[in-house]
Chains A and B, each alone.
Chain A
Amino acid sequence: MTWRDAAAGLIGWYAGVVVVFLFAINTYYLILMLIGFWRTIRSVREVQRPDSRRLLRSPLTPPISILAPAFNEEANVEENVRSLLMLDYPLFEVILINDGSSDRTLEVLISRFDLRPSERSYELAVSCQPIRGIYESAAYPNLVVIDKVNGGKADALNAGLNLALYPLFCGIDADSILEADALLRLVRPFLEAPGITVAAGGVIRVANGCDVRAGRVRQVRLVKRPLPLIQIVEYLRAFLFGRMGWGGGNSLLIISGAFGLFDRRAALLAGGYTTGTVGEDMELVVKIHRRLSEAGRTYRIEFVPDPVCWTEVPESLRVLRRQRTRWHRGLIDTLWRHRSMLGRPRYGTVGMVAMPGFVVFEMLSPVIELTGYLLVPLLWALGSLSLAFALTFLVIAILYATLVSVLAVLLEDITFRRYPRIRDLGLLILAAIVENLGYRQLTVWWRVRSFWEFWRGDLSWGAMERRGVRAG
């Protein structure tokens, strides 16, 4: 046997692994989505019942502290805060944390909300960069602004956590748009299982293209530009039905930093947000799983499919690349930090199912997929490539992934029907097909690159350039 034959045999074997993996990953998404769909239908039916709607207006609803970190948000901060203050919820406070902005964010807040320096004392339950000042307003008693030395998003959230008065806190991005009743809907698991539910995540939807006025989405419209359009399908598949699926076995590992509700005590028990990572949202959820499992506590981390937070997604490849590499670095970092949970029955379904699933199908999948693409020219050079086979496999992989995406669109239409026009459906189906012809491969490459960035210890966040959905 020559080295050439040996190499061809080895590569052929690996090609087999890649093929099996491609089927496995799509089947994994398919199963996850079907579980998510079943749970979504159940949840939507419950919420639609008048008795459930009444429960949401309960006088026994727990109060919430909303934590909104802001860094150089001078342009939008006033509108964002006003939109938060208008939320439909019985009792809440808004804590905006100015994380050492170098622009006029603080000045804008002081002048527009008539803020005065406050002596509000607080307990330093979790460490954070020094707080330079606390501001409150007589006109808006439920608004608190913290001015602190820059320390990143996690550090800003920790500062907010120290000052939060209420038993539940909701971490959001200052530029996210919450639907008016989003908090009422998100708090449902806490009402249904008080003392058991420790965290709940809501849905993130794409705001690009929507008519947004005065900090509210007035009309949901589908964006026509291809990049955000594809991301809508991606968000439906991964952030709606995917997370709903994981929530089923109490194995949800991520609650988006843009919209999540937590029990303050549980978060403090977990040590608050971890600084020095770009995936602080996932890190907190995994830490809560870990600490509560180790303490032998019965708890639940839920995903709720109907409270919606609208966010602007990247419209340029450059910004999208930064976002995706950051997400993947955060994922690798968290899984690496908590690698000792992997496969340990002590951590229940999180250790036995969710973490192995995330390692194989989320963290390593871009590496396996990329090597699969690289094998084609290699096998061709070694003379072992059957063009007919390669093409057929490629077509199958693309069609299977498309099937999963189209199914996500169908399930969204059955459950929520946020995009009412038939033409919108056509565009979404088109996006589900086009997603696999270039976009997917590009994100695979970015995610592989993030391994290198993680290895180098890159903690950069990258600026999000916004076109401004608020313009409507």
Chain B
Amino acid sequence: MPLLALLEFLRSCALALAGAVTLLSLLLLVERSIAALTSRRVKRREAVLAPLVYQAIQEPEGQAATDWALGGFDRHVVRGILLRLAIDLRGDSGDAIAALYQRLGLFQVDAARLRSWSVTRRARAAVDLGLIRVRGALPFLLGAIEDRDTRVRQAAAWAIGQVADRDALIGLIRLLGDPSAVVARRAQEVLAERGREIEDALVTYAGESGSREGRLRAIELLGWLRVSDAVELLLRLMADPDAEIRVKAVKAAAAIGDPRFLAPFHDALEDAQWEVRCQAARGLSVLGSPLSVTRLSRALRDPQWWVRFYAAVALAEVGAVGEAALTEAVEGDSPPARDMARYLLERGSAVPALP
């Protein structure tokens, strides 16, 4: 009897599994059909609503958008149209889109979504506010960069970069030292794009911040933005006891390429840290000074491949004197220097792009 009962149970299991397979297959087909129907409906409504939206953007003083009496689905469609337009349109059209978005009450909805329990909704709301570039959203977004979830903080950092004025951008600088590397990276990305408006604040942060990671990112930005006012600070940081700070500082200095860096670059070629030597050689390639030839020729014998590589590139950039030094190295007694010099002479300007 127990065996029969077991067999019966197993048969029920088999039936249940067969049912589950059938159900899943049906679900798949239903899901696909619903998606197709929804997409078709959206397209149909878009065809009707898009002209109204375009007209409202072109003639903001025309018929009030609030008179449209949109249903839930149509509001969703209009919102989609406005967000897509906002990606490409700036200036007056961008302002008109933002105004329409507010008139339709969509801005208020996003502000409320920033308080949602769902992380995805909060992050999405921040992004939408950034896309629409409504200035009134700034207080909400500045609040969102304090959110407990990194995804929301990232999205808010990006949105602030879209909307912000100088003061808000300065508020973003402190995110460079955020405990989450992802959030800090996002802030760095935004500041790489808009940091020119707040160069002085970046220089101050890079020099004075208590967050080591934040300082490293800020120094990197100084190089990326080629902040000429950062020269004094970088000259100081190039002698910092922290090797990583020296690397970033020399790299930033190489990007700025100010002649005042010549002597510090020469000193940095003797640094114990190979990355510092490498970035110094790179900086000398930007300056292209004949005064560097002796030191660069010596760097051609460096035990580190990358230092030799950048030293050879720098010599090639110096001009005739540098090329003579490379030719001399080809005939010299150091095999690594010989190989590298030969490579650069042969390739000329067609060396691979450098990061």
Contacts and interface: CB of A to CB of B under 8 A. Distances in A.
27 contacts: A45-B120, A49-B123, A49-B127, A50-B87, A51-B127, A51-B130, A51-B155, A51-B158, A55-B158, A60-B188, A121-B305, A121-B340, A141-B352, A165-B352, A166-B355, A167-B355, A192-B181, A194-B185, A195-B181, A196-B181, A389-B7, A389-B10, A392-B10, A392-B11, A395-B14, A396-B13, A425-B28
Identify which of B33, B35, B155, B355 gathers the most chain A CB atoms within 10 Å of its CB.
Answer: B355
B224 interface: yes
Given A58-B192, A121-B340, A141-B351, A402 B21 contact: yes
Interface in B151-197: 151, 154-155, 158-159, 181-182, 185-186, 188-189, 192
Interface string B307-339: 010000000000000000000000000001001
Interface in A380-411: 386, 388-389, 392-393, 395-396, 399-400, 402-403, 406-407, 409-410
Contacts of A196: 181
Given A51-B155, A400-B17, A422 B185 contact: no
B59 interface: no
Nearest to B338: A121
Contacts of A142: 352-353
Interface string B339-355: 11011001100111111
Contact of B182 (A62, A138, A193, A396): A193
A153 to B, nearest CB: 24
A442 B224 CA distance: 57
A407 B355 contact: no
Contacts of B224: 59-60
A69 B344 CA distance: 26
A63 interface: yes
A122 B343 CA distance: 10
Contacts of A410: 24, 27-28, 31
Given A60-B188, A396-B17, A192 B182 contact: yes
Given A51-B130, A393-B10, A403-B21, A91 B189 contact: no
A400 B120 CA distance: 33
Interface residues of A, number: 56
Contacts of B350: 136, 138, 141
* 8 closest residue pairs by CB, A with B: A51-B158, A121-B339, A399-B17, A123-B305, A119-B343, A119-B342, A63-B355, A392-B10
Given A118-B347, A414-B31, A59 B192 contact: yes
A413 B346 contact: no
Contacts of B343: 118-121
B69 to A, nearest CB: 30
Given A46-B151, A60-B188, A399-B18, A422 B29 contact: yes
Contact of B181 (A54, A62, A193): A193
B353 A51 contact: no
A126 to B, nearest CB: 14
A144 to B, nearest CB: 8
Given A58-B189, A403-B17, A425 B29 contact: yes
A469 interface: no
B131 interface: yes
Contacts of B354: 165
Contacts of B29: 422, 425
Given A50-B127, A399-B18, A399-B20, 17 more contacts: A50-B87, A51-B127, A60-B188, A118-B343, A118-B346, A119-B342, A119-B346, A121-B343, A122-B305, A141-B353, A191-B185, A392-B7, A392-B10, A392-B14, A396-B10, A403-B24, A417-B35
B25 to A, nearest CB: 5
Nearest to A59: B192
A425 B29 CA distance: 8
A302 to B, nearest CB: 13
A123 B336 CA distance: 10
Contacts of B7: 386, 388-389, 392
A93 interface: yes
A84 to B, nearest CB: 15
B295 interface: no
A429 interface: yes
Interface string B66-93: 0000000000000000000001000000
B32 interface: yes
Contacts of B353: 63, 91, 93, 141-142
A427 B25 CA distance: 11
A93 B352 CA distance: 8
Contacts of B113: none
